[in-house]
Chain A
Amino acid sequence: DSGVTQTPKHLITATGQRVTLRCSPRSGDLSVYWYQQSLDQGLQFLIHYYNGEERAKGNILERFSAQQFPDLHSELNLSSLELGDSALYFCASSRPGQANTGELFFGEGSRLTVL
């Protein structure tokens, strides 16, 4: 158990809909990262938050947005869903001051299926 909690574990929805994925980082971790992993693909970086502020953006679509709240949990909002958005969405957190070590603690992921 990494200590990072993601909900829901599984989600099935229809094209055009909107969903929200939630992540609670490990206690004491200020950074939250979101990644998308499509079937048999590598991890694609979406966005990084640090203590409530956006720090870096990757290949995140305009239909997707995220935020980190004062209690440090984060939400990833996916709207106008398309079939190609079906994927595993991972959240990861890291300890303060450990950015250079690359040590991320990943949650178990949220599996999104768009029908």
Chain B
Amino acid sequence: KNQVEQSPQSLIILEGKNCTLQCNYTVSPFSNLRWYKQDTGRGPVSLTIMTFSENTKSNGRYTATLDADTKQSSLHITASQLSDSASYICVVIRMDSSYKLIFGSGTRLLVRP
């Protein structure tokens, strides 16, 4: 079954600290994996995309990794800021089928001063 599981469900960290969010998937055939950030009550916004051949990609303080063999991805946030408080959603894109996007349930991050 095509599934995307994220952990932890929620996380509280102090401002300035680092954190890592996990995404495990069983989606096949795999095309790409994308991380979205969703501020409370707002629409999700894409942070980064990981293709099959990419291991690591950075976008400012955000670094995403992908291990296609173990079907795992992570999103590392460095030097967290209060504005990082949001839900982070992992989306795996299937190669085939009419609807390709498999969403994880998200990790809710709260950054405290």
Contact = CB atoms under 8 A, between A and B. Distances in A.
A90 B43 contact: yes
B43 A103 contact: no
B14 interface: no
B105 A42 contact: yes
Given A100-B32, A101-B49, A106-B45, A43 B99 contact: no
A103 to B, nearest CB: 6
A85 B6 CA distance: 25
B95 interface: yes
B34 A43 contact: no
Given A102-B31, A102-B101, 14 more contacts: A2-B43, A2-B45, A42-B103, A42-B105, A42-B106, A48-B98, A48-B99, A55-B98, A92-B43, A100-B93, A100-B95, A102-B49, A104-B101, A107-B43
29 contacts: A2-B43, A2-B45, A42-B89, A42-B104, A42-B105, A42-B106, A43-B44, A43-B89, A43-B103, A45-B99, A45-B101, A90-B43, A100-B93, A100-B100, A101-B34, A101-B49, A101-B93, A102-B33, A102-B34, A102-B49, A102-B91, A102-B100, A103-B34, A103-B49, A106-B44, A107-B43, A109-B42, A109-B43, A111-B41
